[in-house]
Amino acid sequence: MTTTLQFRDFSATDLPTLASAMGDTRVTQFYGLETAQTDARAIAKEQLAWYQELAKDGDGWWQAICISGQVVGGIGIYDLEEDGNSAELGYWLLPSHWGLGLMRSALPQWLPSAFARLQLHNCVAYVEPENQASIRLLTASGFTHEGLLRECSRRGSRYISLHRFSLLVHELKQA
């Protein structure tokens, strides 16, 4: 992958792209989006407010993944647990950029900044078993599979299982 990626904080000018992503069930299928909203633009506004609130409160940090100044995805850390200096990883890409290795390039470029900014010791990612692309991504990015949490979360009316992956701060250079 030779594409140069840039990262920047999300802004109100990104609402159309956020609406496109959050309104696409291919993107949100495994994103864990929890909202009462049904309109993509309203969901996008909600997401942007959440991204900005996390950064303001120091509880996380989301950034836009850009190519030539255009937003193609998002990557973030949230649910900061200060006791263990741990937080969760999340990410999404517009479907037109799937399969190009962009997230495989983005993770090692972005994670050191996130670890430093939030003084993390550990980053975790929870992935549904059906999301094989994310499982391959995390494994290739140096995350360790810690196990399967069986039917540990609800999505609508059904219970889902989640794989747990983690990356420790001293493993960043190896990844």
57 Cβ contact list (under 8 Å, min separation 6): none
**pLDDT score of 1 more than 50:** no
Residue 3 has pLDDT above 80, yes or no: no
Residues counted in the chain:
175
pLDDT score, position 164: 98
Whether 9 shows a pLDDT value over 70: the answer reads yes
For the chain, which residues make up each domain, given as ranges? Answer: 6-171
The mean predicted confidence, pLDDT, of the chain is: 92
Number of neighbours of residue 115 by Cβ within 10 angstroms: 20
Highest average pLDDT, of 137-141, 155-159, 170-174, comes from 137-141
Residue 156 sits at the vertex; the CA angle it makes with 48 and 89, to the nearest 5 degrees, is: 45
Tens of pLDDT, residue by residue over 51-98, are 999 999 989 999 999 999 999 999 999 999 988 799 999 999 999 999
| Superfamily designation of domain 6-171 | Gcn5-related N-acetyltransferase (GNAT) (3.40.630.30)
For Cα atoms 42, 45, 48, give the angle at the middle one, nearest 5 degrees.
Answer: 150
2 pLDDT tier (thresholds 50, 70, 90): low
The H-assigned helical ranges of 58-145 are 102-118, 132-140
